Amino acid sequence: MKECIYCRKVKEESGFSLEHIVPQFLGGSRVPNLLKTKQVCKICNNNLGLFVDASFEKSFLVYSYLTEQAYAFYDPDNPTALPLRCFGTTDLSPPHMVEGEICELWIGPLGEQIIWIRPDDKRLYWYSGGNPRTVKSKKTRAYFLFSDQSSKDLNLSWLSLKNAFEGRRVKKIICNEIDVAADKIGFDVSDDIDNDRIEYFLEKCTNRQERRNKFSLYSKYDLRFLAKLAIGVSFSLLGEDVLRNDYMDELNKALWHKEDDPLPNINGVTAFNEDNQHLKSLCGYKNATTIIVFPTHKGLVLNLNISQSANWVIKCAEIPNNNENIINNIGEGVCFILFKPIQKCITLSLPEFIEHKEGISLNHELSEIDNMVTKGNDYIKQLLSSDEKKLTNKDKIAPSRNLILLLHKPSLNSGKEGLLKFTFLADLESKRFF
Ligand SMILES: [Zn+2]
């Protein structure tokens, strides 16, 4: 008999399965074995994956950043499918739509448009691609339109379109005229309903018409996920000693939080509230997801960063007295740098990570990966170069409160580690997770 670290129920040994503390969608299959555990019951393993991990992964912000990571690693010499970008619910209303259906727009790597007509579900409204259970329950239809740029690398375009919706109950219809029979290249044959819709899409979507799309956001999409990650990581690195105390009870409440529950008392900062550009760039790595675990006198801090663009800080545990694992597993801080598209995870101590970023002592593996990225980025840029539409510059972000603090107060230690520690502490002291 043993106790599950998430639901805290005591169950037979056979009721447990291997859990990746860092889920696969972040590249968790390659993290050191230390971050895998059999202390999670099968029910939690399945349900939390579907509702907690997916709630985070499929939210618009996270989904977009993770998709961009895949683009950065595209290798023109070894073409693979790239994921589509989700552009929310459109204002299109093609013929034969029935009540309860919505029209979602997705964009392919070379500007291809994919219009997916699928059932709406108010319960998981913020999931890009909808509630996985509802979508599975009914056969849906998706319509594909190539772009002018598709012809520059038809292979990439075609592979990406073919791969989208792979293994799902989706009828895939090509709207453009093509020389071969659609079913010979992995698409379906259109029927009367499709033919009416093709006509509509060709008229409405091929002349750069303005589109008014809608994104849905659940403001607490990340609460349960960050709590789960915090519990899992602190348990894996420090052992059972961290599991029973008031703070862990709050994290547990956060993991099982329902929309109307009172907010648990957790220290940290969510990505929406994190306006500290300095922290985002210092803790993150280009085109990677980083997880930094860092001991402070206020407790163990976990920093999650996606592509230097979104950053979460959460206190993940009280540090138990005389815990030996802290020296063995964390030391001055440990950093997991995850490159999901190439299935790699590089583990460094925090000082090593900072030294690499500062150019003081380069990590050879990271440098190699940086070179790969440049190649992929240049290729995609060149394919899209003739596109007249330029993306507008993002608004400049106002200087952050914490950055100002950093400039005016001396750091606790010398160098960047000190800055980091100071920022983490400022975040932990001044802010609640929500
Ligand atoms: Zn459980």
- The CA 139 to ligand 1 mean position distance, Å, reads 32
Residue with tokens 């060149």: 382
- The CA 39 to ligand 1 mean position distance, Å, reads 8
| Same domain as 375, residue 264 | yes
Q: Pick left, alpha or beta for residue 411 (phi over 0 → left; psi -120 to 50 → alpha; otherwise beta).
A: beta
| Same domain as 234, residue 165 | no
In 3-state terms, what secondary structure has residue 17? strand
| Same domain as 227, residue 198 | no
Of 95-99, 159-163, 317-321, 409-413, the least confident: 409-413
Predicted pLDDT at 246: 95
Other CB atoms closer than 10 Å to residue 140's CB: what's the count? 19
% the chain with pLDDT above 90: 53
- The CA 244 to ligand 1 mean position distance, Å, reads 16
309 pLDDT above the threshold of 60:
yes
| 407 — pLDDT class (breaks 50, 70, 90) | very low
- The CA 356 to ligand 1 mean position distance, Å, reads 39
Beta pairing partners, 302:
293, 314
| 301 — pLDDT class (breaks 50, 70, 90) | very high
Q: What is the dihedral of CA 129, 135, 139, 140, to 10 degrees?
A: -30
353 pLDDT above the threshold of 80:
yes
- The CA 233 to ligand 1 mean position distance, Å, reads 16
- The CA 184 to ligand 1 mean position distance, Å, reads 46
Domain assignment present for residue 20? The answer is no
- The CA 392 to ligand 1 mean position distance, Å, reads 46
Structure tokens at 98: 């029935």
Predicted pLDDT at 133: 81
- The CA 6 to ligand 1 mean position distance, Å, reads 5
35 pLDDT above the threshold of 60:
yes
Residue with tokens 């109950």: 169
Q: What is d(CA 306, CA 338) in angstroms, rounded to the nearest whole number?
A: 10
| 403 — pLDDT class (breaks 50, 70, 90) | very low
Taking only the tens place, the pLDDT of each residue in 156-183 is 888 898 888 888 899 999 998 877 777 8
| Same domain as 237, residue 195 | no
366 pLDDT above the threshold of 80:
yes
365 pLDDT above the threshold of 50:
yes
Q: What is d(CA 24, CA 29) in angstroms, rounded to the nearest whole number?
A: 6
Predicted pLDDT at 426: 64
Domain assignment present for residue 57? The answer is no
- The CA 261 to ligand 1 mean position distance, Å, reads 20
| Same domain as 120, residue 181 | yes
Taking only the tens place, the pLDDT of each residue in 194-229 is 999 999 999 998 877 788 888 888 888 999 999 999
Of 209-223, 224-238, 356-370, 388-402, the least confident: 388-402
- The CA 16 to ligand 1 mean position distance, Å, reads 8
Chosen domain end from 152, 180, 204: 204
Q: What is d(CA 266, CA 434) in angstroms, rounded to the nearest whole number?
A: 8
- The CA 243 to ligand 1 mean position distance, Å, reads 14
417 pLDDT above the threshold of 70:
no
3-state secondary structure 384-417: HCCCCCCCCCCCCCCCCHHHHHHHHCCCCCCHHH
- Where do the H-state alpha helices sit in 9-113? 42-48, 54-57, 60-72
Predicted pLDDT at 422: 62
Helix axes 401-408, 415-430, angle to 10 degrees: 130
Backbone angles phi, psi at 387, to 5 degrees: -65, 125
Q: What is d(CA 390, CA 327) in angstroms, rounded to the nearest whole number?
A: 50
Listed residue (107, 110, 109, 104) closest to 142, CA to CA: 104
Q: What is the DSSP string of 331-397?
A: TT-EEEEEEGGGTEEEEEEHHHHHHHHHTSS--HHHHHHHHHHHHHHHHHHHHHTT-SPPPPPPPPP
| Same domain as 184, residue 109 | yes
Listed residue (272, 331, 309, 296) closest to 423, CA to CA: 296
| Same domain as 106, residue 240 | no
Q: In which element (H, E) is residue 238 found?
A: helix 223-238
- The CA 42 to ligand 1 mean position distance, Å, reads 7
- The CA 3 to ligand 1 mean position distance, Å, reads 8
Domain assignment present for residue 324? The answer is yes
- The CA 229 to ligand 1 mean position distance, Å, reads 14
Predicted pLDDT at 401: 29
Structure tokens at 154: 């038809």
Q: Which position has the higher pLDDT, 135 or 85?
A: 85
| Same domain as 174, residue 250 | no
- The CA 257 to ligand 1 mean position distance, Å, reads 15
Q: Pick left, alpha or beta for residue 333 (phi over 0 → left; psi -120 to 50 → alpha; otherwise beta).
A: left
| Same domain as 132, residue 98 | yes
Taking only the tens place, the pLDDT of each residue in 108-151 is 988 889 999 999 888 888 888 888 888 788 899 999 998 888 87
Beta pairing partners, 104:
89, 116
Domain assignment present for residue 56? The answer is no
**Average pLDDT of the chain?**
85
Q: What is d(CA 268, CA 224) in angstroms, rounded to the nearest whole number?
A: 13
Residue 373 identity (one-letter amino acid): V
Q: State which residues form the domain around 200.
A: 81-204
- The CA 40 to ligand 1 mean position distance, Å, reads 5
- The CA 10 to ligand 1 mean position distance, Å, reads 8
Query: Measuring CA to CA, how many Å separate 229 from each of 164, 189, 232?
Result: 29, 45, 5
Domain assignment present for residue 242? The answer is yes
- The CA 17 to ligand 1 mean position distance, Å, reads 10
21: Cβ–Cβ under 8 A, 6 or more apart, which residues?
28, 31, 35, 36, 37, 229, 232, 233, 236
Beta strands in 136-287 (DSSP E): 140-145, 170-174, 268-269
Could you give the number of structural domains in the chain? 2
Predicted pLDDT at 388: 44
Beta pairing partners, 172:
142
Tell me the average pLDDT across 313-322: 91
Domain assignment present for residue 301? The answer is yes
| Same domain as 195, residue 298 | no
| Same domain as 187, residue 132 | yes
Chosen domain end from 159, 174, 204: 204
Q: What is the DSSP string of 170-198?
A: EEEEE-S--SS-GGGGT-PPP-HHHHHHH
Predicted pLDDT at 75: 87
- The CA 223 to ligand 1 mean position distance, Å, reads 18
Other CB atoms closer than 10 Å to residue 113's CB: what's the count? 21
Structure tokens at 269: 């900062």
- The CA 48 to ligand 1 mean position distance, Å, reads 9
| Same domain as 276, residue 300 | yes
| 269 — pLDDT class (breaks 50, 70, 90) | confident
- The CA 45 to ligand 1 mean position distance, Å, reads 7
Chosen domain end from 176, 204, 232: 204
Domain assignment present for residue 162? The answer is yes
- Where do the H-state alpha helices sit in 34-191? 42-48, 54-57, 60-72, 132-137, 154-163
Centroid of chain to Cα 249 = 26
Predicted pLDDT at 414: 38
Find out whether 13 and 2 touch, Cβ atoms under 8 Å: yes
- The CA 322 to ligand 1 mean position distance, Å, reads 28
- The CA 44 to ligand 1 mean position distance, Å, reads 4
Find out whether 342 and 73 touch, Cβ atoms under 8 Å: yes
Domain assignment present for residue 58? The answer is no
